Amino acid sequence: MNGLASAAIKMAGLRGAAWALDPRIEPGRHAALRPAGPESARIEWLYWVIFWICLVVFVLMMIGFARAARISSTSVSDRAILEDPQGDRRSAWGVGIGLGITTLALFVVLVFSIAEGRPIEGVATQNDVTIEVTGHQWWWEVAYPNSEADLRITTANEIHVPVGERIAVVMKSGDVIHSFWAPNITGKRDLIPGYASAISFQVDTPGTYHGQCAEFCGLQHAHMGFSVVAESKREFEAWQRQQLQSAIEPSEPETKRGRQVFLTHACVMCHTIRGTTAASQMGPDLTHVASRNRIAAETLPNTPGALAGWILDPQSIKPGNHMAANALAGDELEALITYLESLK
Amino acid sequence: MPVQTTARLTDSELHERLERTWGHPKGVWGWFSNVHHTAIGIRFMVTAFIFFLLGGILAAVMRTQLAFPENNVLGPDRYNQFFSVHGSTMIFLFAVPMMFQGFGVYLVPLMCGARNIAFPRLNAFSYYIYVGGGLLLWIGLLLNVGVDTGWFSYVPLSGPQFTPGKRADFWAQMITFTEVSALGVAVCIATTILRYRAPGMTLNRMPILLWEKLVVSIAVIFAMPAVMVASSLLLLDRLVGTQFFNPAEGGDVLLYQHLFWFFAHPDVYIIFLPGTSIVSTLVAVYTRRHIFGYTPIVISMIATAFLGFSVWVHHMFATGLPPLGENFFTTATLMIVIPTAAQFFCWLATMWNGKLQFKLPMLWLFGFLFVFLIGGLSGVMLASVPVDLQVHDTYFLIAHLHYVLIGGAVFPMFAGIYHWFPKITGKFLNEALGKIQFWLFFVGFNVTFFTMHFLGLRGMPRRIYTYAPELHWSGLNLLASSGAVFMAVGTLVFLWNVGSSLYGGAIADINPWAAGSLEWGVPSPPPSYNFLYIPTVNGREALWSAVANQPVVTGLRTDIQEMLVTHSLDSEPQYREETAGASIWPFLTAVAVSAAFVGSIFTAWAVPIGAVPVTIALIAWLWPRGSSSTSKRATALEPLAYER
Amino acid sequence: MRTQSALLAGLIGVVVAGVGVSCRREDRILRQPPTASATLNTVQMSGLNAGANPAPQPPVPNIYEESAYATSEGQRLYEQYNCVGCHAHGGGGMGPALMDENWIYGSDPANVFATIMQGRPNGMPSFRNRIPEYQVWEITAYVRSLSGLLPKDVAPSRSDEMNVKPSESSTPRQTPTGITGTPEPKR
């Protein structure tokens, strides 16, 4: 459908538009018209249906106005007022028919919208994977609940899902209104304080899909991203098992020193590393921070340099976010980075 | 004192006497005492245009920030203030004051055939209150107290915990100012249209613009209280410690959204319908024929305003409301397309069977048709819940809203300015400069905002102060920002045009466009008393249906400001009454009310203490004026008559 | 027309003059260097002194007390660093109340700062090296606002939390005992 659309647009001469709609992106780059699952595929189909109806209407109206706008040679000094009762009678029919076609087209849009809306907005009671997402200023707390408390996974900003299975995401907000939006996957849903909300989706194409907060939530709304990693069932279960482990015990002296730095500085006030005494719920869980692709809510790549810069001065990267700068000596910082990079 | 009669007066003698009675007061004191609608209407339009420029400057800086990824022209705090003040300025301080209040206050009494607007002091008060609100918001921005939570300031972000300081309070109080102003003007305009129309101008013969202003006035009266409630409850939560929007204590976050959008959606029709009436008016003039489908257009406007109150939830489709409810609002949103489509078809039919004169206003009208149609069609996309769930709160939405607001208001505004500038000032605007402005603005606008449709589909949410280069939004953002340059240059060309025309433009005569409505029957610019004699009307286009000896009404007093009050439906003369003349009290009351409102942001004591000067000012305002009214002198009055 | 131009010019003049002045209350200082301070060494804890009374020291100002944003950050940090665990929302519990006028170690900004940084006997932990200094100043500002020591426009308003007690209008009427001399019923 996408290729047909861009071919048609190319034929219409709007080459720039075609480029914008169909760039050479691999799955994982977000776009509402590159669906990775049935929900976004439905929305994409509905979008094109409405788009073509609208385009036809637009072209017809423009042709009509262009025809009506044939410039008269009469000058303004000709003050005579036109009366054309026959023309007006024809126009009455024209207006009536136009209104009828408009109403019909709108009705078609309405029926399709309602029909496609139902499967998208419904959430089944039985789902293969249920995920709890809590929105905070300006990061996403992600949890995989389980009836057994020690099988509950807690992580941040990066959501893993198995391909081809039904996922339910239950959402709530920890402070202000946020909005969970991964355009390749499905439509957005607001996280509203005082309300719990749930959406359901399925991802059929493996890959990493970017998402972003879509409701203005304060100073760092621009940097509140998340990603959805869709992988095979085997990889997903391996990831789950790994996430359930406590933090890897450091074996090297440098790594041990890094843990010491972590536990004796401001880090413990906000972060949890399971397996140590750090258990604060204020900021993201760091037990497996090295297993994530990006840090700081998808703002930075997860590399030692970026991590060091983030720890030393988060306010220069995300001014106004809730992580304070840390005065660490060079060797302390190195040890800390070594430790954090070992937390796979 | 013997009553002056108009019988056996020459036109110039009558003009002299009326000038003496109705003349605009002079000097600084006189400037603030002037309550004539032409003066206040010009002030509304000029002030609103200044806010348009200021909001545009903010937008230009925002586009500079977004032209490149990870730019640092504006940090997050400044950017948040800029986009919030930009939106608030454009909607509250430009669009409604220009389209409804500015054009309405100036044109409505003239089109009715009246010498002044109803309740002229309330009208003047509304203007000064509006200026107070605008100053509050903008002085706030300059003092770092600019609102930073968006033009609709959702709670809990704008609540007491998450917006410290006074920023949201300044915004919420600005709402109070502007909505009091709009309500005041709505009362004045509605009353003028219903009671001050010239004899013979039955409802069926009212110009479309008057129908539209009547409909919009009623929409304002119903819509404004909702935002007053929303902003007042926000102020109470922030300043007094109430729990209206605190879910932990039984409040509800969505309540704010419902209250706000119940106002704000009709508000966009309050902005858009004046645009359509300008289009209807101008299309008739420039195709040299009556508008096709007068009755369908009037019914469409009423239907749009009415249905406008039933669609507000389409701004909240992403909040997770029950699907059945959302489908109801999809239906209503699609239904409201039908009356607007009817208007489009009627304009098309008018042009089809007319003799089109391609004057500059028509260029702007074609721009309107192109731009607003795109905006309306993208609105149809947004009405569909699944599609909306993808593009809500993205740049697609920003594209849509600018297409409908700039297309639906700014383009007709420029068309109206080019059309009525000769009447208001007596000078023509330069056509060549106008065409240059149009093309710069039109091309720049489409480059900027059409690009944003793609950005939204690519995943760019709104209200972000920067973005990463890996997201591949950079090229399109740079394109969008470059279009803004054209729009800015076009606007500068317009300012040059206005400035040079005011001081050296071609002189305009009484009816250069051979238009049909009553304002084209008075000199350009209109004298202080508007009409030498109150006209009578034979048809929908008063001047086109006027006969050689068209009767006028004589007998109104020339020593006091006397108005003819007619019946609401058939416009038969009912009685004569004195209207309020120049008075300083609207201005002083507005100052007192502004002080009380602004003070109440800082301390509750401002309410009882501030009430004292307000009360004094109101008492002075409403103090009875004595016996220049007519009851004891009824027998000595010259009877009203039709003459000629 | 001339009057209007004059008025407009006057207005622009006022506004331009105002541009240079920004409202201290609305300052949002987002980037803070994590510096060490020498404040701790000069704070006087109590009025008791051996020997002659020392010269009175000028109070150390807390620049964050002028900023509503900083005080609001203090409110956030007060909860997120779990000051509420001992001090509740100012009413106290395991720790002393912070909303009253009793300040065991002094209510000046420097005193509160030192209390948080150094810790105090009977359970107040020391947060030095745990909470960055500027955040301790922000918490100081908030704590002082709890007992009304900050101007009203800077102090934070209510938070979006549950109230500790239900509002007075929703508690049932209770007959006060002891006033009429009626003894409480025996159980």
Q: With an 8 Å Cβ cutoff, are C32 and A315 in contact?
A: yes
Q: How far is it, in rounded angstroms, from Cα B240 to Cα B229?
A: 15
Chains that touch B (3 or more CB pairs under 8 A): A, C
Residue A74 lies inside a defined structural domain of this protein: no
| Stretch B190-218: mean pLDDT | 97
For residue B48, pLDDT over 50 is answered with yes
Residue A32 lies inside a defined structural domain of this protein: yes
Q: How far is A222 from chain B (nearest CA, A)?
A: 4
**Residue C162 is inside which H or E element, if any?**
none
Task: Tell me the pLDDT of chain B averaged across its residues.
Answer: 94
Q: With an 8 Å Cβ cutoff, are C30 and A319 in contact?
A: yes
Residue B260 lies inside a defined structural domain of this protein: no
Q: With an 8 Å Cβ cutoff, are A31 and B373 in contact?
A: no
**Range with lowest mean pLDDT among A83-87, A301-305, C8-12:** C8-12
The total domain count for chain C is 1
Picking from A94, A82, A55, the residue whose alpha carbon sits closest to that of residue B342 is A94
Measured from the Cβ of residue B434, the count of other Cβ atoms closer than 10 Å reads 24
What percentage of chain A has pLDDT greater than the value 90? 78
pLDDT score at A19: 30
Q: Indicate the pLDDT class of residue A254, thresholds 50, 70 and 90.
A: very high
pLDDT score at B638: 67
A192 interfacial to chain C (CB closer than 8 Å): no
Tell me: do A231 and A160 sit in the same domain. Answer: yes
Q: How far is it, in rounded angstroms, from Cα A75 to Cα A96?
A: 32
Q: With an 8 Å Cβ cutoff, are A326 and C160 in contact?
A: no
**Residue B29 is inside which H or E element, if any?**
helix B27-33
Tell me: do A8 and A117 sit in the same domain. Answer: yes
- Chain B hits for C22, CB-CB cut-off 8 Å, are 143-144
Task: Tell me the pLDDT of chain C averaged across its residues.
Answer: 80
**Range with lowest mean pLDDT among A271-285, B182-196, B301-315, C60-74:** C60-74
pLDDT score at A121: 85
Picking from B377, B178, B155, the residue whose alpha carbon sits closest to that of residue B263 is B178
Q: C interface mutation test: which of A192, A267, A280, A282 has the most C CBs within 10 A?
A: A282
Residue A77 lies inside a defined structural domain of this protein: no
Q: Indicate the pLDDT class of residue A71, thresholds 50, 70 and 90.
A: low
For residue A221, pLDDT over 50 is answered with yes
Q: With an 8 Å Cβ cutoff, are C159 and B160 in contact?
A: yes
Q: Which tens digit of pLDDT belongs to each residue from A269-299?
A: 999 999 999 999 999 999 999 999 999 999 9
* B332 or A1, higher pLDDT: B332
Q: Which tens digit of pLDDT belongs to each residue from B383-394?
A: 999 999 999 999
Tell me: do A35 and A95 sit in the same domain. Answer: yes
Cβ(B57)–Cβ(B95) below 8 Å: no
C145 interfacial to chain B (CB closer than 8 Å): no
Tell me: do A154 and A206 sit in the same domain. Answer: yes
Question: Given the structure tokens 């220049």, which residue do they identify?
Answer: B628
Q: Indicate the pLDDT class of residue A79, thresholds 50, 70 and 90.
A: low
Question: Given the structure tokens 């001339």, which residue do they identify?
Answer: C2
Measured from the Cβ of residue A244, the count of other Cβ atoms closer than 10 Å reads 17
**Which value does ipTM take for this structure?**
0.92
| CATH number of the domain that residue B36 is part of | 1.20.210.10
- Chain C hits for B72, CB-CB cut-off 8 Å, are none
| Stretch A183-196: mean pLDDT | 95
A217 interfacial to chain B (CB closer than 8 Å): yes
Picking from B17, B34, B13, the residue whose alpha carbon sits closest to that of residue B557 is B17
Neighbouring residues of B409: CB distance < 8 A, sequence distance ≥ 6: B95, B98, B99, B271, B272, B274, B275
Q: With an 8 Å Cβ cutoff, are C162 and B249 in contact?
A: yes
Q: With an 8 Å Cβ cutoff, are B143 and C26 in contact?
A: yes
What percentage of chain C has pLDDT greater than the value 90? 35
Structure tokens, B94:
């430009």
Residue C108 lies inside a defined structural domain of this protein: yes
Picking from B396, B387, B397, the residue whose alpha carbon sits closest to that of residue B458 is B396
Beta bridge mates, A226: A211
| CATH number of the domain that residue A171 is part of | 2.60.40.420
Q: How far is it, in rounded angstroms, from Cα B155 to Cα A218?
A: 11
Measured from the Cβ of residue A123, the count of other Cβ atoms closer than 10 Å reads 15
Q: With an 8 Å Cβ cutoff, are A327 and C35 in contact?
A: yes
Q: How far is it, in rounded angstroms, from Cα B41 to Cα B592?
A: 22
Residue C154 lies inside a defined structural domain of this protein: yes
Residue B234 lies inside a defined structural domain of this protein: yes
Residue A76 lies inside a defined structural domain of this protein: no
Tell me: do A233 and A292 sit in the same domain. Answer: no
Measured from the Cβ of residue C6, the count of other Cβ atoms closer than 10 Å reads 12
- Shortest CB distance from A269 goes to which of C33, C36, C131? C131
Cβ(A339)–Cβ(A262) below 8 Å: yes
Residue C8 lies inside a defined structural domain of this protein: no
Question: Given the structure tokens 């309500």, which residue do they identify?
Answer: B183
Residue C55 lies inside a defined structural domain of this protein: no
Tell me: do A289 and A325 sit in the same domain. Answer: yes
- Chain A hits for B330, CB-CB cut-off 8 Å, are 110, 113-114
Which sign does the torsion angle of CA B615, B621, B626, B629 carry? negative
Whole-Å CA distances, C182 to A178, B163, B435, C187: 56, 50, 92, 15
- Chain B hits for A9, CB-CB cut-off 8 Å, are none
pLDDT score at B485: 97
Q: Indicate the pLDDT class of residue B7, thresholds 50, 70 and 90.
A: low
Residue C91 lies inside a defined structural domain of this protein: yes
pLDDT score at B1: 42
A313 interfacial to chain B (CB closer than 8 Å): no
Residue in chain A lying closest to C35 (CA): A327
The total domain count for chain B is 1
Q: Which tens digit of pLDDT belongs to each residue from B409-443?
A: 999 999 999 999 999 999 999 999 999 999 999 99
Q: Which tens digit of pLDDT belongs to each residue from B317-365?
A: 999 999 999 999 999 999 999 999 999 999 999 999 888 888 899 999 9
Residue B326 lies inside a defined structural domain of this protein: no
Q: How far is it, in rounded angstroms, from Cα B127 to Cα B137?
A: 16
Beta bridge mates, A153: A144
Residue B248 lies inside a defined structural domain of this protein: yes
pLDDT score at C39: 64
Chains that touch C (3 or more CB pairs under 8 A): A, B
Cβ(B108)–Cβ(B210) below 8 Å: yes
Residue B136 lies inside a defined structural domain of this protein: yes
| CATH number of the domain that residue C104 is part of | 1.10.760.10
For residue A5, pLDDT over 50 is answered with no
For residue A30, pLDDT over 70 is answered with no
Q: How far is it, in rounded angstroms, from Cα B594 to Cα B127?
A: 12
Q: With an 8 Å Cβ cutoff, are B248 and C161 in contact?
A: yes
Range of the domain at A55: 2-69+88-121
Neighbouring residues of A68: CB distance < 8 A, sequence distance ≥ 6: B348, B351, B352, B356
Cβ(B253)–Cβ(A194) below 8 Å: yes
Omega before residue A138 within 30° of 0, cis: yes
pLDDT score at A23: 30
For residue A255, pLDDT over 80 is answered with yes
Q: With an 8 Å Cβ cutoff, are A269 and C81 in contact?
A: yes
The total domain count for chain A is 3
| Stretch A200-220: mean pLDDT | 94
Q: Which tens digit of pLDDT belongs to each residue from B544-571?
A: 999 888 999 988 888 889 999 999 999 9
pLDDT score at A15: 33
Which sign does the torsion angle of CA A91, A97, A100, A101 carry? negative
Residue C43 lies inside a defined structural domain of this protein: no
Question: Given the structure tokens 């103090």, which residue do they identify?
Answer: B623
Q: How far is it, in rounded angstroms, from Cα C71 to Cα B464?
A: 26
**Residue B643 is inside which H or E element, if any?**
strand B641-643
- Chain C hits for B76, CB-CB cut-off 8 Å, are 30
Q: Indicate the pLDDT class of residue B6, thresholds 50, 70 and 90.
A: low
Residue in chain C lying closest to B253 (CA): C160
What percentage of chain A has pLDDT greater than the value 70? 89
- Chain C hits for A332, CB-CB cut-off 8 Å, are none
Tell me: do A113 and A195 sit in the same domain. Answer: no
**Range with lowest mean pLDDT among A210-219, B197-206, C113-122, C161-170:** C161-170
For residue B80, pLDDT over 50 is answered with yes
Range of the domain at B37: 9-255+522-644
Q: Indicate the pLDDT class of residue A10, thresholds 50, 70 and 90.
A: very low
Range of the domain at C66: 60-175
Whole-Å CA distances, C95 to B57, B608, C45, C120: 53, 41, 18, 11
pLDDT score at B629: 52
pLDDT score at C44: 73
Question: Given the structure tokens 């000012």, which residue do they identify?
Answer: B617
Q: Indicate the pLDDT class of residue C178, thresholds 50, 70 and 90.
A: low
